[in-house]
Amino acid sequence: GAGVSQSPRYKVAKRGQDVALRCDPISGHVSLFWYQQALGQGPEFLTYFQNEAQLDKSGLPSDRFFAERPEGSVSTLKIQRTQQEDSAVYLCASRKNSGTQYFGPGTRLTVL
């Protein structure tokens, strides 16, 4: 079937705006992960869900970051009052049960 999809692919926000990033995982994949990747760096873990349960949110950098997956499928990462340091690529990955994660194309967020 289709791979992981993310939208929008690119987002430009003015500092202080709220943004919402969407991830559609591979159908049937139980686990969903969000990562933040700054230029020249590896992906940094933000949070992960098993079905609708958020099992680990230890990587969220501040309380301005919030993620949800209410029906255990699509997930949304919300960033409130965006700051310039939030500029990065936000990657979503899904996994069936354990082992290999499959990544989406990412959303490139630029905060001006």
Q: Please report how close the Cβ of residue 94 comes to other proteins at its closest, in angstroms.
A: 12
- Can you tell me the distance from the alpha carbon of 90 to that of 44, in angstroms, rounded to the nearest whole number? 9
Q: Are strands 10-13 and 107-111 parallel, antiparallel or unpaired?
A: parallel
What does the alpha-carbon distance between residue 4 and residue 112 come to, in Å, rounded to a whole number? Answer: 28
Closest CA relative to residue 75, chosen from 38, 18, 15, 21: 21
97 binds other proteins (CB under 8 A): yes
Q: How far is the CB of 75 from other proteins (least distance, A)?
A: 15
Phi, psi of 2 (to 5 degrees): -70, 155
- Binders of other proteins in range 32-91 (CB under 8 A): 33, 35, 40-45, 48, 50, 55-56, 91
Does residue 2 belong to the site contacting other proteins (CB under 8 A)? no
Q: Could you tell me which stretch among 20-28, 61-69, 75-83, 96-104 binds other proteins (CB under 8 A)?
A: 96-104
- Give the footprint of other proteins on this chain (CB under 8 A): 30-31, 33, 35, 40-45, 48, 50, 55-56, 91, 95, 97-106
